[in-house]
Homo-oligomer: A and B are copies of this chain.
Amino acid sequence: MLRFPHAAPAAVKGTMARAAEDVRRKPVTLSDVAAAAGVSQATASRCLNGSERKVNPELREKVLAAAARLNYTANLSAQTVARGTSTTVALLVSDIADAYFSSMAASVMSAAEAKGLRVTIAVTERNVEREIELVRELRGQHARAVILAGSGYVDSRFAEPLVRELTMFEEMGGRVVLISRTDLPFETVDLDNLGGARRLASALVRLGYESFRLLGGEEQLVATRDRIEGFRLGLADAGIHLDADRVIYSDFSWEGGFTAVQAMDDKVLADTRLIFAVNDEMALGAIAGLRGRGLRIPEDIAVAGFDDIRSLRDVVPGLTTVRVPLVEVGREAIARVIGSPSGERSRVVVATVALRDSTPRLN
């Protein structure tokens, strides 16, 4: 690999045609800037990067000018190595193409940017081992924080090694923030999954619904468990008991909702006036499946979801759901990354019921 000798990059710069392939110009470094400004590297560093140490305005000008002239830009990796800390926070999501997570990513990123943090997104593919592996790498990268947004597993068999890894991450000086899962001993931005589902159930009962069927993601998923439990409580509040066999577990996705509904037999469906899916994606999949079976929504069967993902605005009839204020969630998560660790351990973000046409009042 051909490289220019360190000597005369500036001279080459102007005359060198881009024709020659694989020619790399050595990036201009801090010491280049220092030399050009006639100061020490230390001084140049003080002017250019943070460090509110006093430096003669005259020199400062020189340095800034040199930096601009040479088109200097700091080497982040080198800074990270030298400082021993970075300003990067990692956001771990199950699937970035999922509307729920991509919206959350957007809100986390914009909140982070406002605080001068950069965000890197990593995808776990709902795989705990991958989650662990990623946290491990992040420790090596001295990430400032890791935000775990994928829904956790209730089964602590999976959780234990993850907790170990997260603990090491914290011991290294990083912050750990969970979103919507209280099963691990770390700071959490807690969604009111249980309360939201409970209020939804109450609202639906008030609309006249009595015969329900629930669609959950994997059974050991925290979100699934809490939302189902909340819905069950809401029904209980109204004196309606929900048999265990009225809860069907499938995949926490559109396809999961679709196939679950396809697999139901006619008898079961006939005995169901409303299907509550634990997230909107599943609900939409269910709707597709139901329509595939010739059922009309909401005349033949009503459907409700959870999350209020953005694409619901284009769905007809409007899907009744529980709104999760993602912007607030993102802001909260970043606040926890920044704030002192001693802060409140688990403020709950309120989720509100949104009744729409997919669950009209009955007669």
Q: Which residues of A contact B (CB under 8 A)?
A: 18, 21-25, 27, 71, 73-78, 80-81, 86, 95-99, 102-103, 105-106, 109-110, 120-121, 123, 136-137, 139-142, 167-168, 170-173, 254, 284, 287-288, 310-311, 313-316, 341-342
Q: Are B139 and A21 in contact (CB under 8 A)?
A: no
Q: Are B97 and A137 in contact (CB under 8 A)?
A: no
Copies held by the complex: 2
Q: Are A140 and B75 in contact (CB under 8 A)?
A: yes
Complex: chain B residue closest to A27, CB-CB: B172
Interchain residue pairs with CB less than 8 A apart (25)? A21-B342, A25-B172, A27-B142, A73-B137, A73-B139, A73-B140, A76-B77, A76-B140, A77-B80, A77-B81, A77-B86, A77-B142, A78-B81, A97-B102, A97-B106, A97-B310, A98-B102, A99-B102, A102-B102, A109-B123, A284-B313, A311-B311, A314-B314, A315-B316, A316-B316
Report A147 CB to chain B, min CB distance, Å: 14
Nearest 8 CB-CB pairings of A with B: A311-B311, A73-B140, A102-B102, A97-B106, A77-B80, A77-B77, A24-B173, A25-B171
CB-contact partner of A81 in B23, B81, B139, B288, under 8 A: B81
Contact A121:B123 (CB < 8 A) given known A73-B136, A77-B86? no
Complex: chain B residue closest to A125, CB-CB: B110
Q: What residues of chain B lie closer than 8 Å to A141, measured between beta carbons?
A: 75-77
Q: Are B86 and A96 in contact (CB under 8 A)?
A: no
Q: Are A18 and B167 in contact (CB under 8 A)?
A: yes
Contact A341:B25 (CB < 8 A) given known A97-B310, A106-B95? no
Report A205 CB to chain B, min CB distance, Å: 27
Q: What residues of chain B lie closer than 8 Å to A288, measured between beta carbons?
A: 313-314
Given contacts A76-B141, A96-B96, A288-B314, 14 further A-B contacts (CB under 8 A): A18-B167, A21-B341, A21-B342, A24-B171, A25-B172, A27-B139, A74-B140, A75-B140, A77-B78, A77-B80, A96-B121, A97-B103, A102-B102, A106-B123
Q: Are B71 and A168 in contact (CB under 8 A)?
A: yes
Cα distance A80–B102 when bound, in Å? 29
Q: What residues of chain B lie closer than 8 Å to A110, measured between beta carbons?
A: 123
Q: Are B105 and A97 in contact (CB under 8 A)?
A: yes
Cα distance A187–B99 when bound, in Å? 30
Complex: chain B residue closest to A326, CB-CB: B97
Contact A99:B96 (CB < 8 A) given known A109-B123, A120-B121? no
Q: What residues of chain B lie closer than 8 Å to A75, measured between beta carbons?
A: 81, 140-142
Q: Are A96 and B77 in contact (CB under 8 A)?
A: no
Cα distance A139–B76 when bound, in Å? 10
Q: What residues of chain B lie closer than 8 Å to A172, measured between beta carbons?
A: 24-25, 27
Report A223 CB to chain B, min CB distance, Å: 20
Q: What residues of chain B lie closer than 8 Å to A168, measured between beta carbons?
A: 71
Q: Are A120 and B123 in contact (CB under 8 A)?
A: no
Cα distance A71–B171 when bound, in Å? 13
Q: What residues of chain B lie closer than 8 Å to A77, measured between beta carbons?
A: 76-78, 80-81, 86, 141-142
Q: What residues of chain B lie closer than 8 Å to A105, measured between beta carbons?
A: 96-97, 102, 121
Interface centre among A76, A77, A142, A288 (most CB of B within 10 A): A77
Cα distance A215–B232 when bound, in Å? 47
Q: What residues of chain B lie closer than 8 Å to A310, measured between beta carbons?
A: 97
Cα distance A311–B315 when bound, in Å? 9
Q: What residues of chain B lie closer than 8 Å to A76, measured between beta carbons?
A: 77, 137, 140-141
